[in-house]
Amino acid sequence: MDTAHRSFPILVALFVLLFGVTSSQPYEEFLQCLEFHDSNITSIVYTRANSSFSSLLESSIRNPRFDTSATPKPLLIFTPRQISHIQSAIRCSRAHRIQIRVRSGGHDYEGLSYSTISPSLTFLVLDLRNLRAIQVDVPSKTAWAQAGATLGELYYAIAAESRTLAFPAGMWPTVGLGGHISGGGYGSLLRKHGIAADNVVDAQVVDVEGRILDRASMGEDLFWAIRGGGGNTFGIVVAWKLSLVSVPPTVTLFTVSRTAQHKGIELFHRWQHVVDKLPDDLIVMASLSRDNVVNPIQANATTIQASFNSLYLGSIEGLILMMEAKFPDLGLRRENCVEMSWAKSILYFAGFPLNSPLESLLDRTISATGSAKFKGKSDYVKEPIPISGFEGIWEKLKEVGVQTGGLILASYGGKMSEIPESSIPFPHRAGNIYQVEEVAFWVEDGVEAADGYLNWLRGLYEYMTPYVSKNPREAYANYRDLDIGRNGGGGEGDYRRARSWGSSYYKNNFDRLVRVKTAVDPANFFRNEQSIPPLSSWR
Ligand code: FDA
């Protein structure tokens, strides 16, 4: 035997000793490791051989774009029932060099909580669906909510205790608390109370050493970073302690739509001049999409549709008076308005019929897009876009099919302008009139169709360049967009590269996030294609 052959078994033994695994059986040792920590643990592990594996994986894939045979799949799915299971998963994943992708609600725009762009990556999905207990404490106006709970479950639990308490987070019921608050989390109360991450007062996190930390034991730097600095980066959030806010027992909502023929573009333009200056009890959001004209003279014609969606923390009468004073051009009428509890307003925004029971908030199976795949991008507008700019957007919308692309706009101002940019990692505060989401949806399968829509969306984004924030071109971390930059396929970070997309999401907070990451997870165990890298990655 020559030297190379003789040394081969030694190398393998060394590899196993160091990494505890051979590449041919990566999960058997991992399972043994889990069993070593807890003999009953295998009932919550689903390998690819398990008949429930695919249905479990797919059950919270919220973007069908990543539900294809070509999408890289995890080695196994692990569904912890208690914190000690998470601790074991971290210890065994580290020992056996299996990457963890933690999933709460599964809404990651790029599918990073259950997949990867790297086909060769060995990873497991730590799915928190079983960790969703919620305890509301009305006297202190707080709630502890586990990360696997959905927004709908949180709002339902709050409503069960009080009609006058709420939490200022997102407007789609199945979004998970784990990812949502880790990336910011805004909804209809943002102008009055800021975003979800602004209203977190404590948290329970399992760190890379498997320690269970709360605010006091993790320290203010890590507590700062987890409130908007992105998921799957600093540790696994098990639960959030939330500060609840007061709302009136009845709020008022309206939706008004106008086509281009009915001054849609002019209204949109006007909207930009008033929305951030309205009293903070009122938010008027907007969307712009292409629609069919139902008109015998212009059959088959299409037009632009501008829709305005609003929540007012008060009565219909109060809203009408305010709109007449602040935004008369919209021509709001009483019959456009409807009153309901704040919790029910979530169902309204999600498009449920008006008489839907509050229990609809608990439905974890509803889908925002059905079988349609989607991609989103985001921007921030600081100066009103001129009419000519909107006309160009309209030309862009004409290039895609009806209702397959558009802009969704959330107005800022109010409390958002009062919170300093460095208060938490989410930096998009004073000076923004509104946030833009550019989005494309498509039902066709295949790479060619997808590329067509993706190119269209990138063209729209390009078109928006002169009208949106610059240096950096800001973006919302929860509307994850790998086009603006990413780490390596396995999440290997490079500080300098990450700085470009990191500044878009976090502006000047990026460097502090890197410092926290370096302190709490220097070997970059928690990572994905857009996680904050440690300083050691500086090349
Ligand atoms: P998911 O489980 O996919 O997690 C997202 C990221 O966080 C991943 O990187 C994941 O690994 C990580 N993560 C998850 N749980 C974690 C935990 N416990 N600890 C650490 N890291 C964790 N946004 C908004 O602000 N307002 C809104 O109204 C909406 N509405 C909306 C509707 C729909 C249909 C979609 C698809 C998305 C939104 N969003 C949104 C965006 C949403 O806030 C964003 O996708 C969140 O990251 C989703 O959190 P999930 O837990 O559902 O996702």
pLDDT digits (tens, 9 = 90+) for 202-225: 999 999 999 999 999 999 999 999
pLDDT at 299 exceeding the cut of 60: no
- 483-491: average pLDDT: 89
- 141-153: average pLDDT: 98
DSSP 176: B
Res 329: pLDDT: 93
Centroid of ligand 1 to alpha carbon of 23 (angstroms) = 32
| Catalytic-residue membership of 479 | yes
Res 539: pLDDT: 54
- 509-531: average pLDDT: 97
What pLDDT band is residue 301 in, cutting at 50, 70 and 90?
low
pLDDT at 21 exceeding the cut of 60: no
Work out the percent of the chain whose per-residue pLDDT is above 70: 92
Res 260: pLDDT: 67
Mean pLDDT of the chain: 92
C-beta of residue 507 within 8 angstroms of C-beta of residue 474:
yes
Res 261: pLDDT: 62
Res 14: pLDDT: 43
pLDDT at 9 exceeding the cut of 60: no
Res 2: pLDDT: 41
What CA–CA distance (Å, rounded) separates 282 from 319?
8
One DSSP character per residue, 299-366 reads TT-EEEEEEEEEEESS-HHHHHHHHHHH-GGG---GGGEEEE-HHHHHHHHTT--TT--GGGGG-TT-
Q: Ligand 1 pocket check: which of 175, 363, 408 to mutate, most ligand atoms within 8 Å of Cβ?
A: 175
- Is the peptide bond between 26 and the residue preceding it cis, with omega within 30 degrees of 0? no
What CA–CA distance (Å, rounded) separates 42 from 14?
28
CA-nearest residue for atom 26, ligand 1, is 170
Task: Dig out the tokens for 188 from the structure.
Answer: 């209809």
Res 295: pLDDT: 47
pLDDT at 7 exceeding the cut of 50: no
CA-nearest residue for atom 40, ligand 1, is 170
Task: Return the axis-axis angle of helices 215-226 and 510-520, rounded to nearest 10°.
Answer: 140
CB of 173 shorter than 6 A to ligand 1? no
Angle at 356 (CA atoms; ends 351, 361), nearest 5 degrees: 75
- pTM reported for the whole predicted model: 0.94
Of residues 233 and 371, more confidence is placed in: 233
Is residue 209 left, alpha or beta, with left meaning phi > 0 and alpha meaning psi from -120 to 50?
alpha
Contacts for 479-484 with beta carbons within 8 Å, 24 or more apart? Answer: 479/109, 479/376, 479/377, 479/378, 479/437, 480/108, 480/109, 480/110, 480/112, 480/183, 480/530, 481/109, 481/110, 481/375, 481/376, 481/377, 481/378, 482/110, 482/117, 482/529, 482/530, 483/377, 483/458
pLDDT at 25 exceeding the cut of 70: no
* Shortest-distance atom of ligand 1 to CA 148: 18
